Chains A and B, each alone.
Chain A
Amino acid sequence: MRLLDAELVETREILPRQWLQRYRAPWLAAGARAGQFVHVRTPDYSGLVLRRPISINTVDRVAGEITLHFRIAGKGTELLARARPGDTVPMLGPLGRPFEVDPRTHHVLLIAGGLGVAGVRFLVDESLEAGRQVTLLFGAATAGDVYPSTLLPDEVEYVVATEDGSLGQPGRVTDLLPAYEAWADQAFACGPYPMLSALASLAAGRQARLGVARLGRKRGTGRPVPPGSPQARRRSWLQVSMEQHMGCAVGACLGCVVWGVEGPLRVCREGPVFAAEEIAWEEPA
């Protein structure tokens, strides 16, 4: 974690009101891992008091550059979208805990809902680098919001579902999961809360449906791993990256909690990536 000024190199609108910005930030590029985020202060800061948490979308370690992918959701992101190449943007990061991929995992399933692709995009690169096979399931409301496949590496199997059926499979991205749950050794998801909640309930029944052996040691051998530890998360089939209104992003203000089975969990410190079993999921309203 460090306070730094990132220089904007390139900015473009890849989808309606969704921007992809490339920053020169060697320190972030060198140390960041998939799933982590940066806390961004917009260049123009009049009237704002909070930074904006944004997932690290991709990292170019050689060039010392990172990209951020965000949607204009309010004044802060609007001001950020107005930044021009050459502007410096203060950032705090890398923050949060990354995705934990089991070393034995070979088939990686990524599930993204809308802008959630920004949360798992870095894991695409990391998994391919590690020689794993990657399938990305992407869900959007309509064809106009579908993440362009040109922004993904060729090695990825990219499956799209749209709710109005205008592109790819008609329906929700969660409907695609049953076809891939047997293939996938581990799944990683990012998207709106109802999507993650639905995935978590699917994942909870997966073992019973498939009758597969659980990854990890047999029960009764060795010490139990505490829930929330990297070891425990590595054994979890489904890991989710969550979002919440955020204050400090370092764990001081306790503003960004989600409710876990053992009480409140800070998205900025214990998250943003959680094992699905750690979260006390609410029924979608």
Chain B
Amino acid sequence: MKRRRSIVTSGPRARSPYAGEPRLGLRAPRNRAGGVPGTPGAPETTAGTPAPGRAAGSGPSGYARVPGGAPSPVTGSNGMPVAGPVPGIAGAAVDLSVDLAPKRPGGLVLQNPVLVASGTFGYGIEYGEVVDVQRLGAICCKGTTLKPRAGNPPPRVTETPGGMLNSIGLQNPGVDAVIERYAPLWAGWQVPVLVNVAGESIDDYVGVAQRLDGVPGVAGIELNISCPNVGKGGLQFAVDRDAAAAVTAAVRRATDLPLLVKLSPNVTDIRPIARAIEDAGADAITAINTLSGIAIDRGTGRPLLGNVYGGLSGPAIRPVGLRIVYEVAQVVSIPVVAIGGISTLDDALDYLAAGAIAVQVGTAIFADPEVPLRLVDELRAYCAARGLSSHLPLVGTALPARPGRPSAKGVEYRP
């Protein structure tokens, strides 16, 4: 079983990415009530557990079910048919790893394509008692700014039909405190942590990036140029092509860390912005951040949120996210990480088809913290059942053929 290893996997922790032992800094994941070992929700305990046994009957979607005993046209990773009546290929043989920074080899290789979204998972320790965070693809930490920020006045969250509004306002202790408090912990983790960077000016972004550069435990930067909840900064960079390119280029010059840029849906046309960000040196693009919205308190007749405006997330924004991923994936050649209302395998598969190489789970974690790990298990079982050794063949199936690419046939028959 050949497997690429992430560079953050270091020293004594360099073990199979699927081993589920407790790790430094976190309590051992206790067996949750109702989580019988062997069910998809429970942590894997052996690296070699074949998927079909685990996959049977897993999840609400029927995809994870393996056709029992029916021989299927299965080929191994070398293209040779696998001998024997194997129903699909073993889950352990499915390599879900993704490279989010292909331009810097080994820079950011994730063990699986399921990340947790910034702002929904704190700094990775808050859910440590109920989720085995080491099995995640990566963690995007809470938006981090140069100086500490107190955030917006409460109330900050409210539920809306099929979604929720939040207006946290980038409350965080500042980059220096984040490096001091959390980076030493992250350095001992197997799961890479991407620091979500926000700011009011290009200098702010550069300052945070410079401080994060070379800090052990920081696997990369997710540039948040699209926070809709702060008065100044944030969104203004995401809606303007030149400003987005300028801030991306400035951060690119300041650090060698893998650089993801998170796009806003609150724009007229995302494509020129995405292209400009790619040209400015981003390693990958994350789409989408929340949609700007408001809610009214029916009791008082006034805006409900303390900040008036909030960002809409959850299943309600999934069609918008799909559209933007679909558009971005057509115009850039760097990886696209999808985010927006993902809570089931079907949602993730939709985004993969729309051109995303990996997905982030956000709001769904609040209702069920086990969603990200369940997605990993279900995606592995899904690939295994279809004889895929990776999820990459599922990526971009919905995209139209790129225009302007000369076909081999055309070249061959040129007069």
Contact = CB atoms under 8 A, between A and B. Distances in A.
| A-B pairs with lowest CB-CB distance, top 6 | A252-B122, A4-B33, A255-B157, A252-B126, A49-B314, A245-B155
B411 to A, nearest CB: 52
Interface in B128-186: 129-130, 142, 150-151, 153-159, 161-164, 166, 168, 171
A264 B150 contact: yes
A47 B161 contact: yes
B171 A92 contact: no
A24 B153 CA distance: 38
Contacts, number: 116
A92 B129 CA distance: 11
Nearest to B170: A254
Contacts of A249: 366
A11 B379 CA distance: 39
A228 B161 CA distance: 36
13 contacts: A2-B30, A2-B32, A5-B34, A48-B159, A48-B367, A49-B363, A92-B369, A245-B154, A248-B365, A250-B369, A252-B142, A254-B151, A264-B171
B18 interface: no
B33 A259 contact: no
A149 B367 CA distance: 35
B368 interface: yes
Given A2-B33, A253-B120, A253-B168, A47 B162 contact: yes
B119 interface: yes
Interface string A242-260: 0011111111111111110
Given A252-B126, A253-B119, A245 B156 contact: yes
B203 to A, nearest CB: 25
A3 interface: yes
Contact of B156 (A92, A252, A255): A255
B370 interface: yes
B164 A1 contact: no
A263 interface: yes
In this complex, the interface size class of chain A, counting residues with CB under 8 Å from chain B, is 35 or more
B364 interface: yes
Contacts of A257: 151, 154, 156, 171
Nearest to B156: A255
B122 A251 contact: yes
B129 A1 contact: yes
Q: Majority SS of interface residues in chain B?
A: loop
A247 B126 contact: no
A247 B369 CA distance: 12
B248 to A, nearest CB: 27
B192 to A, nearest CB: 18
A256 B151 CA distance: 12
Interface string A43-84: 001011111000000000000000000000010100000000
Interface of B: 30, 32-35, 119-122, 126-127, 129-130, 142, 150-151, 153-159, 161-164, 166, 168, 171, 314-315, 363-370
A249 B129 CA distance: 13
A281 interface: no
A247 B163 CA distance: 12
A246 B367 CA distance: 11
Contacts of B171: 254, 257, 264
A47 B364 CA distance: 12
Contacts of B119: 253-254
A197 B44 CA distance: 49
Interface string A224-252: 00000000000000000000111111111
A76 B368 CA distance: 15
A4 B364 CA distance: 17
Nearest to B31: A2
Given A5-B34, A49-B164, A250 B367 contact: no
Interface in A1-50: 1-5, 27, 41, 45, 47-50
B33 A5 contact: yes
B33 A92 contact: no
A41 B162 CA distance: 15
Contact of B367 (A41, A255, A259): A41
B365 A49 contact: no
Contacts of B370: 3
A44 to B, nearest CB: 13
B166 A253 contact: yes
A76 B367 CA distance: 12
Nearest to A252: B122
Contact of A246 (B157, B168, B365): B157
A50 B127 contact: no
B219 to A, nearest CB: 19
A29 to B, nearest CB: 12
A258 B168 contact: no
B118 to A, nearest CB: 11
Given A41-B367, A49-B366, A252-B120, A3 B130 contact: yes
A256 B370 CA distance: 21
Nearest to A250: B126
B164 A50 contact: yes
A255 B365 CA distance: 14
Contact of B153 (A5, A256, A259): A259
A279 to B, nearest CB: 12
A244 B127 contact: no
A255 B166 contact: yes
Contacts of B166: 247, 253, 255
Given A48-B367, A49-B367, A255-B166, A3 B159 contact: no
Contact of A254 (B168, B363, B368): B168
Contacts of A259: 153-154
A220 B14 CA distance: 52
